[in-house]
Structure 1
Amino acid sequence: MSRGQSYFITLIRNPSRQNNTTTQIRTLTLDSPSRGTSTEPDSDAHQGSYTEMAKTVSTIIRERHRWQQTLVSDFPSFNFADPLFFRQMLALQNNNSNNVMFSLWFFRWLCSTFDYKPDPVSLNLLFGALLDAKAVRAAKSFLDYSTGFNFSPEVTLLERYVKCLCEDGFVEEGIRVYTLLKESGTVPSVPTCNAVLLGCLKVKKLDLFWELHKEMKETEVVDLERIHCLIQALCDGGEVSEG
């Protein structure tokens, strides 16, 4: 992982380190998956056995209060630390906030029980699943927890993270991540920029809205959602006739 990658994600987790250091950010590209653990299943039968085991473990996590204390003894010969198995757990539980939390709990259990070194693909999948489920607080917690793994999320995930933060009321945090993306050389998409502007309107920060809009309009195409944002900003600012 490049120094720029590591430093960027450090800034997301520790905003106090941002001052006078943004010039050190260089890149957000993800490490090649080839550096991680081998992730190809040996056969269809192998994949099928993982699917069935994932269903069993998911049921145990849902129904047994102290599953962390008994799971290894229940299945002493099973390799829970195989990245393929963790991904199968995610595949079963994706797009549901409660189920995704089970995956997060299982992930933390893996890290605390085994010498588990999650690969970048698995980390991105879990982070993306949390965003899919709109589990923003859990996503923030996951970024903090994954500090020791040098996790650098994919840029597309960070843009989704910005949108989720702004939609869920963490507007200042969303703006901060958005700003770091721009300073790292990434050009955020129009929907991401619109989410930031809507966030400013939500918390009544009109001065910041116009400041950001001025920067955005120099490089972006205005879409219908942006026009709606502008109308709302004018109305909120008392310029109803302009709106």
Structure 2
Amino acid sequence: MSFNARSAWSIYRRELWRFLRTAFQSVLAPVLTTSLYILVFGSAIGNRMPDVGSVDYGAFIIPGLLMLTLLGETTSNSSFGIYMPRFTGTIYELLSAPVGVAETLAGFVGAAATKSLILAAIILLTARIFVPYDIAHPVFAFVFILLVAASFSLFGFILGIWADSFEKLGIIPMLILTPLTFLGGTFYSIADLPAPWNTVALANPIVYLVSGLRWTFYGSADVSIWVSLALTLAFLVACTAIIAYIFRTGWRLRN
């Protein structure tokens, strides 16, 4: 069966329009929160903090704060996008239509990833108002942000299918992703942690995402960029395989 670009575009356009209708809430809240972090930790406290490596502390925390917002918003947007059709029953119209898994994912996940890229661009522009910073590898930064956005859009898609209540939609982003991101080197380098915590921190998967994005900004990080890329790609492939299984078996979609 060939890829139906029109079906994918229709889903993508509908989901993106839903985001634009609530853009004030969807963009303003995370941008304000991130700006407050940058203002307090970057501008106010950052002036009193020593440089981390050769990077000013205020600039050092920007990739971590960007990742904090990116993970939470991408997962929430994608999970809500598929949960609402299940909640209202319109998912059966999608399942009965001549639309395959590829078109569905391209539409839902593509829209969620686009929202995340727009949000990331706004946050980076806002951050420059408070803290001067440079991006050493802009192409790598774009590709890495795109991979993370796509991966966690897929993860959010799985979460939206798994959840059977609005409360469950917020469990993973609020109680798991956010704490792991704070403990993943957002405000510090894990190399500065005392033993054995510097080794224990490597068990946190978010460390590799924050470290990878930080490398694209400043050319140095706690973990090799290739390890970060490999783990991100592995997570993307794993999420894609899980979604393919869900659509093949109809788990939580047809009941």
Give the TM interval when normalised to the shorter protein.
under 0.3
Which structure dedicates a bigger proportion of its chain to helix? 2
Give the alignment's TM-score, normalised by structure 1: 0.27
Give the number of the structure with larger relative contact order, counting CA–CA contacts within 8 Å between residues 6 or more apart.
2
Greater Cα radius of gyration, structure 1 or 2: 1
Give the alignment's TM-score, normalised by structure 2: 0.26
